[in-house]
Amino acid sequence: MREFETGATRDSADGKLDYEGFLHPSVLKAFAEYMHYHRKQADGNLRSSDNWQKGIPQSEYMKSGYRHFMDWWTLHRRQVAGHVLSPVEQRRLEEALCALLFNVMGYLYEELRVVRPSAASQVIQVQGVRATTRGDEMLSAYVKRWAEGDDPAA
């Protein structure tokens, strides 16, 4: 139990996911700007922001991800060789990184839909604590083993 100077109390933060620490606002903002820019379709209409969640084959994410990785890698190698990126190249680098992030998230989203298809909609009560479906419990166990130095995938 935590107690604050004001006398207010909260339960412990131990074991809880620290989104504020794991994520950074400037990265999320750049990604959202990238996603918003790419909402415009060839016919001029805007697709919904969650359009990708309707399902895209993982093979499409992989092919696109490789193309964007190559862009990132090429620009990285130029920097390593001492080249200072121009503003246009800087923008290309940011685009490549955001595109890669999109493809990684989309691929992971499709993977999670298979592993725990109803995780977003099912919530159960376990010993008075809010817990999600069995898939989330399995993922939590996976993360715990990984954090302890065990390779759960092995």
- Residue 46 phi, psi (nearest 5): -95, 130
- Give SS3 for 14: coil
Contact, 19 vs 68, CB < 8 A? Answer: no
Q: Is 131 helix (H, G, I), strand (E, B) or coil?
A: strand
Least confident of 15-29, 34-48, 65-79, 111-125: 111-125
Q: pTM (2 decimals)? A: 0.71
Using a 10 angstrom Cβ sphere, with 0-12 exposed, 13-18 middle and 19 or more buried, the burial of residue 98 is buried
pLDDT digits (tens, 9 = 90+) for 80-109: 999 999 999 999 999 999 999 999 999 999
pLDDT at 121 exceeding the cut of 60: no
- Per-residue model confidence (pLDDT) at position 13: 86
Residue that wins the pLDDT comparison between 124 and 109 = 109
Tokens (6 digits) for 57: 């084959």
